[in-house]
Amino acid sequence: MKITRRQTLGALGIAAAAPMLATGLTACGSSGEGDGKSLKILQYEDPTSAQGQGWKKALEIFKDKHPDVKVTFEQTSFDAVRQNAKITLSGNDVPDVIEFNKGNADGGQLAMQGLLTNLTDEVSKRGWDDKVDPSMRSFALYENGMAGSGDWYGIPNIGEYVTLFYNEDLLKEHGVKPDFSDLDALEAGMDKLMAAGVTPIASSAATSQGFNQMWVWYSLVSAIATRDEIDDFMFVKNPVDFTSGPWAEGTKRFQSWIERGYVGKDIAGLNFEQATVNFLSGKAAMVVWNHGVFHRALSEADFNWGYTTFPGANLVMGSSGHLWGVPDRAKNKELAYEWIDITLSDEVQNVIGDLGGLPIAGDPSTISDERIREYTERFVELMDGDVFSYYPDYPVIGFLDFIQEHMQAMSNGNETADGFIKALQDFYDAGTGK
């Protein structure tokens, strides 16, 4: 798929940490006394992003329907919600709707602690289960704090998936065709780049937001894993033996990529933004990321570029986006349910889709930009095929920090694949009680 430069959209990426502030229709204030006259929404999406623009439209629709309701739309940060959710949801002045992170370590804990409302009846009543595809609902359902089954505690609006973005001009210059048939063919192409002195993949391994190495590693595992193997790991269904199968093979291949220089050198202190810049500036031929790079490349790349899922992969990294939840102590739950319903409406979902936000209930045929439409259609294809392997830090509390520390150690050459696998087995077993 060939994509050329065009100044169409602004940058998108992981929500940056920022102090909490109020935006939207009113200043910050109490969520009311349950009189149906106020709605307080707490979220952390970039207001300039596709999802942020969609929610702006949702605010307009909600206000038109409820002109007498005082709406407070608070902007906070992803980190702030992760760190303070329990305190925020335990007080007397809680939001009526909150955006929260999916996974056992976050959403699962909030559900198990009784801080979120069980949405199962509302899901059936409002038909949300018809809009949220089975592959997108895995982290909306929790039972005893574990994702994948049980009751609904969250509702996603969008999805995401991870691809290998490539600089088509740079590949062509060095005789590399991007239509790789499998991982062996990809490695052969990267060998050509290495011989020409070109870094194949821009990556990062800082212990704070150095996510790229984790995504490269898990993409290699996912490429050769089965649905059952990933589900056992992600949803703690059956014991996982990390010393065999895709875990051992993928991790050893990852170590070989480090040793061969495929992911660059001296990356232990780099974060994902620096890796993105290295790709966009032409310092590396490829980068592994999600729609954040897609939108950055649309507006910033001055070269022909494209993307592909990992060649020959069984499964692809990706999942639903973050979730809407209704706090157990919310005072205006009916308004909260209506707000969620509006964000899943065709009107809002198609606004998100037209801006490239990968809506889970949108219609790709309504997207005007051909490249955004093709990117979205590929997402729908993967969603319908149930081939997402999710993200590796979801199953266990503290897993993200643990994995990033070991990604840095492996990238520094201070840890081998076998050493990481052993540590991974110990941490996972302790965290899951297996």
Q: Give dist(CA 137, CA 319) in Å, integer.
A: 9
Whether residue 416 is found in the same domain as residue 267: yes
User: Which residues is 141 bridged to in the sheet?
Assistant: 152
- Please check whether residue 154 lies inside any domain of the structure: yes
Q: For the whole model, what pTM was predicted?
A: 0.86
- Please check whether residue 3 lies inside any domain of the structure: no
- Please check whether residue 14 lies inside any domain of the structure: no
Give the closest residue to 217 by CA, choosing from 410, 434, 365: 410
Whether residue 57 is found in the same domain as residue 123: yes
Give the closest residue to 108 by CA, choosing from 77, 78, 79, 138: 138
- Please check whether residue 350 lies inside any domain of the structure: yes
> What is residue 192's predicted lDDT score, i.e. its pLDDT?
98
Whether residue 210 is found in the same domain as residue 168: yes
- Please check whether residue 360 lies inside any domain of the structure: yes
- Please check whether residue 10 lies inside any domain of the structure: no
- Residues with Cβ within 8 Å of 417's Cβ and at least 6 positions away in sequence, in order, are 248, 251, 252, 254, 255, 410
> What is residue 390's predicted lDDT score, i.e. its pLDDT?
96
| Beta-sheet pairing, 146-147 with 97-100 | unpaired
* Segments of the chain scoring below 70 in pLDDT: 1-33
- Residues with Cβ within 8 Å of 331's Cβ and at least 6 positions away in sequence, in order, are 31, 32, 33, 34, 38, 94, 96
Sign, CA torsion 189/190/196/198: positive
Whether residue 402 is found in the same domain as residue 303: yes
- Please check whether residue 45 lies inside any domain of the structure: yes
The total of structural domains in the chain comes to 2
Whether residue 276 is found in the same domain as residue 200: yes
User: Which residues is 316 bridged to in the sheet?
Assistant: 388
> What is residue 23's predicted lDDT score, i.e. its pLDDT?
38
Whether residue 186 is found in the same domain as residue 213: yes
Whether residue 140 is found in the same domain as residue 212: no
Whether residue 47 is found in the same domain as residue 32: yes
Question: Which domain covers residue 36, as residue numbers?
Answer: 21-159+321-372
SS3 193: helix
Q: Give dist(CA 145, CA 21) in Å, integer.
A: 30
Name the DSSP class of 365: G
Sign, CA torsion 41/45/48/51: negative
- Please check whether residue 389 lies inside any domain of the structure: no
Whether residue 402 is found in the same domain as residue 424: yes
At residue 325's C-alpha, the angle toward residues 320 and 327, to 5°, is 160
Give the closest residue to 219 by CA, choosing from 143, 286, 158: 286
Q: Give dist(CA 110, CA 332) in Å, integer.
A: 19
Residue 115: which CATH number?
3.40.190.10
Whether residue 153 is found in the same domain as residue 58: yes
Whether residue 177 is found in the same domain as residue 155: no
Residue 85 in tokens = 């959710």
- Phi first, then psi: give them for residue 112, nearest 5 degrees: -65, -30
Cβ(186)–Cβ(163) below 8 Å: no
Whether residue 121 is found in the same domain as residue 175: no
- Residues with Cβ within 8 Å of 55's Cβ and at least 6 positions away in sequence, in order, are 43, 45, 73, 343, 348
